[in-house]
Structure 1
Amino acid sequence: MPRGNGKTIAQNKKAGHDFFIEETYEAGIVLQGTEIKSIRASRVNLKDSFARIRNGEVYLHNLHISPYEQGNIYNHDPTRSRKLLLHRKQINQLIGQTQQKGFSLVPLKIYIKNGVAKVLIGLGRGKKKYDKREDLKRKQVNREIDRAIKESLK
């Protein structure tokens, strides 16, 4: 399972709060014109983005890439749908898994790897409200344990 070991540009921190991430996939992004320059300048927002499979291809929706400032007429629509580049075998796997109830494709982070923009998408199962509360309680308990350990070492 690839983890995305390039220079991280943007991360979707809310994804871990809203979803149980079962599996991750590394995908390339089909970009237009000056989009790569905006990505390299870290002018990307993953907050409300999601991926969907349409006609046997994976598309990323609501990914906001700000227009490049020196781009004039060659700039792009900031929130257009962008095709993701995955192997056919991976797409077939995702089709089978997303048809199960409660699974969706969530972009986790965008990074530059070997000069190419990549996106790490996760196969996530939505959390219920009680799952989120349970996670918050677990994090709080772990923080208190860490504090107690630090205090005992002083």
Structure 2
Amino acid sequence: MAKKKSKNKTNSNTIALNKKARHNYTLSDKYEAGMSLQGWELKSIRDGKVNISDCYVHVKDREAYLVGAEIHPLNSASSHVVCDPVRPRKLLLNRRELDQLVSAVERQGYSLIATAMYWKSSWVKLEFYLGKGKQSHDKRADIKDREWKVDQGRIMKKSNQ
């Protein structure tokens, strides 16, 4: 008799997050792209040796590249290959999406900030946003708003009791 598959998945699909992105940038439009990877990179990604905290997306010659992401090679999997942990990796996007990104970056002064890398079935996907950099006074305003929401919750909790 065949075993039934459990419906509850305990594993998260998230590979890496860029937690500083929302603090340093005002994010607007979300995009999702596949990545062109080599075999040793996939093995390292499965092992969790990825850092996307200081990476961004660069559009050049009507192609998008992930620049600055670090995928550290495994000693056992990449002994016969010369590995570059920070090589630019090509992103797989539609032509229409690329045209939108080019116009936003060149004409409107946006940056493309990578926020997450995750598994979508058996494919590695990158989530990135159009964003503008925050000034220090913008960051302070966000902190004040966040603290005010916490205080509002406390006030509402006390008034309901």
TM-score computed with the length of structure 1 as normaliser:
0.89
CA offsets 1:46-104 (integer angstroms, 9 cap, x no match): 11101110111001111011112312123621111111000011001100011134311
Query: Rg: which structure is higher?
Result: 2
Matched-pair identity in %:
38
Unpaired stretches in structure 2, ≥5 consecutive residues: 1-11
Q: Distance in 1 between matches of 2:157 and 2:86?
A: 46
Is 1:53 the counterpart of 2:74? The answer is no
Cross-structure match for 1:137: 144
Is 1:37 the counterpart of 2:43? The answer is yes
Cross-structure match for 2:127: 120
Greater mean alpha carbon deviation, residues 144-153 or residues 62-71? 144-153
Q: Distance in 2 between matches of 1:153 and 1:70?
A: 60
Aligned with residue 96 of structure 2, among 89, 94, 105: 89
The 3-state SS of whatever aligns with 1:74 is coil
RMSD of equivalent CA atoms:
1.7
Q: Is the 8 A contact 1:32 1:76 kept in 2?
A: no
Is 1:12 the counterpart of 2:24? The answer is no
Q: Distance in 2 between matches of 1:55 and 1:116?
A: 25
Q: Distance in 1 between matches of 2:152 and 2:139?
A: 20
1:40 CA displacement: 1.7
Is 1:77 the counterpart of 2:58? The answer is no
TM-score computed with the length of structure 2 as normaliser:
0.85
Greater mean alpha carbon deviation, residues 18-27 or residues 71-80? 71-80
Q: Residues 135, 70 of structure 1: CA spacing in aligned structure 2 closer, same or farther, 3 A cutoff? A: same
